[in-house]
Amino acid sequence: MTRQEHLELLNEMEMFYPFFKNSLEREEAWYKVMYKYDFKEVMRNLEIAMANEKYQKEPPTAYYLVQDLIPTDEKVDFNKLVIFCPICKRAINQREEQKHTDKCRSIEYLSKQYEKHFGKVIEKKDLWKMSDEEFDKKYLESIKRIKDKITNEREKAMLGFVLNSPSQEEAKKFISNTNLI
């Protein structure tokens, strides 16, 4: 919480509790308690306290307003956590894990299939450099080419599902006929 936010909180309390008078001493004392907490969370606790019958006539204390809060420097920002992709072993942001893993699996599949069916090695780094739109277009084109080379009917049907999403009935029929469950 910044000093300005802290003053806003004290002004709010002074407005709702007329006998709550802000002073330099109170400002310093309360700031020592509150500076490490999120302003919005403290304000939410103040609103909750003001709705509580106990705090209709007397203001809550600084400690009451922060008693159930976690200091901002102790909070974990899950959007910044880094994990390692199980496929390529790159460090990735946890928020991007699913998107990265999907693309990584697709690149691995294309790489293996191109080598198997066309005797070509695909440069994975070139595929990673592509935008999502470019990659999706290249992926679908490649799946069509691979599907034409495959002789196994089950694999061919699965690639057909990638190219044209099946109905639920078609998917159930395919799964039950191939003993996947």
| pLDDT, tens only, 31-52 | 999 999 999 999 999 999 999 9
- Name residue 83's beta-bridge partners: 92
Q: pTM higher than 0.85 for the full model? A: no
Flag whether pLDDT at 181 surpasses 70. no
Q: In angstroms, rounded to a whole number, what is the distance separating the alpha carbons of residues 150 and 145?
A: 9
Flag whether pLDDT at 72 surpasses 60. yes
| Residue that wins the pLDDT comparison between 166 and 30 | 30
Phi/psi of residue 17, nearest 5 degrees: -120, 90
